[in-house]
Amino acid sequence: MKKDKAVVLVVEDNTIIRMGAVDLVLTAGYEALEACDADEAIRILEARSDIDLVFTDVQMPGTMDGLKLSHYIRNRWPPVKLIVASGAAILEESSLPSGSRFFPKPYDENAITDAMARLLASEDPAGTAG
């Protein structure tokens, strides 16, 4: 059974930025969940089987940063799509799990919602299908 809305988990330690990202997700028509760090994100992913996409910051406190989190998610929950953003680090696509998208902060909200739409429309989590 297909869900009504895609579910996007926003992982961001800065409350203001997280609220903005959640608002962006809701405005784009998706269901939004939020986590303040990787540990909370993993607890949410373990508790719910309906998360389609994780939108994470790189710099975060806790046991792992957003880059480690994105690799962990790709390995443990391969179908989950990934968008990674950072204000400090400019990451090479090669350092990200396959099929994820990177955006420097401050990011363009339209670019993020376009990337979400494209990733969510694709059935291939690695993004390799034409």
| Distance from C-alpha of 66 to C-alpha of 105, rounded to nearest angstrom | 14
Do the domain assignments include residue 39?
Answer: yes
Number of domains the chain is built from? 1
Q: Are 86 and 58 in contact (CB under 8 A)?
A: yes
Do the domain assignments include residue 2?
Answer: no
Task: Give the range of the structural domain holding residue 72, as residue numbers without chain letter.
Answer: 7-121
CA distances from residue 27 to 30, 31, 55 in whole angstroms, order as listed:
7, 9, 15
**Statement: residue 57 has pLDDT above 60:** yes
- Single pTM value for the model: 0.90
For residue 119, the cross-strand partners are none
Do the domain assignments include residue 130?
Answer: no
Do the domain assignments include residue 100?
Answer: yes
Dihedral of alpha carbons 8, 91, 58, 112, sign: negative
Do the domain assignments include residue 128?
Answer: no
pLDDT of residue 129: 40
pLDDT of residue 2: 57
CATH number of the domain that residue 93 is part of: 3.40.50.2300
| Distance from C-alpha of 14 to C-alpha of 36, rounded to nearest angstrom | 7
**Statement: residue 58 has pLDDT above 80:** yes
Distinct helix (H) and strand (E) counts, the chain = 4, 5
- Lowest mean pLDDT of 22-26, 84-88, 113-117, 124-128, name the range: 124-128
Do the domain assignments include residue 27?
Answer: yes
DSSP secondary structure letter of residue 1: -
pLDDT band at 4 (very low <50, low <70, confident <90, very high): confident
- What tens digit of pLDDT does each residue of 9-52 get? 999 999 999 999 999 999 999 999 999 999 999 999 999 999 99
Do the domain assignments include residue 126?
Answer: no
Q: Are 67 and 41 in contact (CB under 8 A)?
A: no
**Statement: residue 130 has pLDDT above 50:** no
Do the domain assignments include residue 93?
Answer: yes
- What tens digit of pLDDT does each residue of 72-94 get? 999 999 999 999 999 877 777 78
